Amino acid sequence: MKTLQLRRILLLFITCLVLLFSCKNEHSSILNLASKAILMEEFDLAIKYYNQIIEQEPKNYHYRLMRADCYYKSKDYENALREYNKLDFINGKVTYHYFNRAEIHILLGEPNFALLNLNVYINDKKNKDNLKYSIAFFYRSMLLHKFGFSESAKKDFVAYLKLSKTLGKMDKESVISLGEMLKFEF
């Protein structure tokens, strides 16, 4: 009797392991398909794959971020914003998505919202090593200039130039020309 119970427990344990392993493999294969769809710029297909994964893990920040990015890249800004906003509730400590949300607000002609998102993104030092960090200063400088805050805009523009280590000489010169056109003195 005791041997039979041990066998059942062992069988149940093995079954659980097999189910767990197969779920992980299924999950991995769906993620691989989503990644391939993104590489092929088939964002609607990638969104469908992420929908499947998010059904299983609705509070996973990374999967929701990837789905939001797919909405953004497919120019479905309404769904992208809705998804980026959900990320605040899933993990309020991560501000990486604020940059993309700011870009959407810029594209939609909503400079106030864009500026709010850029401020949060820039003030979070965890984003400092990200390439988007320097671009955030550029966007914010343009918005501040638009709102008439010339000195603050100039400071952000200079910060952008300092952070932009990856710009080539020609690009840097065109950016400096843009700064001069906006009457930023260096």
* Per-residue pLDDT in tens (0 to 9) along the chain, 186 residues: 555 555 555 444 554 444 444 445 567 788 888 888 888 989 999 999 999 999 988 998 989 999 999 999 999 999 999 999 999 898 888 898 999 999 999 999 999 999 999 999 999 988 887 778 989 999 999 999 999 998 999 999 888 888 876 555 546 666 666 666 566 554
pTM: 0.75
Cα atoms found within 13 Å of the Cα of residue 44, Cβ hemisphere only: 2
Measured distance CA(57)–CA(51) in Å, rounded: 10
Match 């992980």 to its residue by tokens. 24
**Helices marked H in 124-165 — which ranges?**
131-146, 150-163
Q: CA–CA distance from 75 to each of 131, 135, 156, 176 (Å)? A: 22, 20, 28, 30
- Token representation of residue 98: 């604020």
Instruction: Please give the pLDDT value at position 125.
Output: 87
Alpha-carbon distance 84 to 67, whole Å?
9
Distance CA 115, CA 156 (A): 12
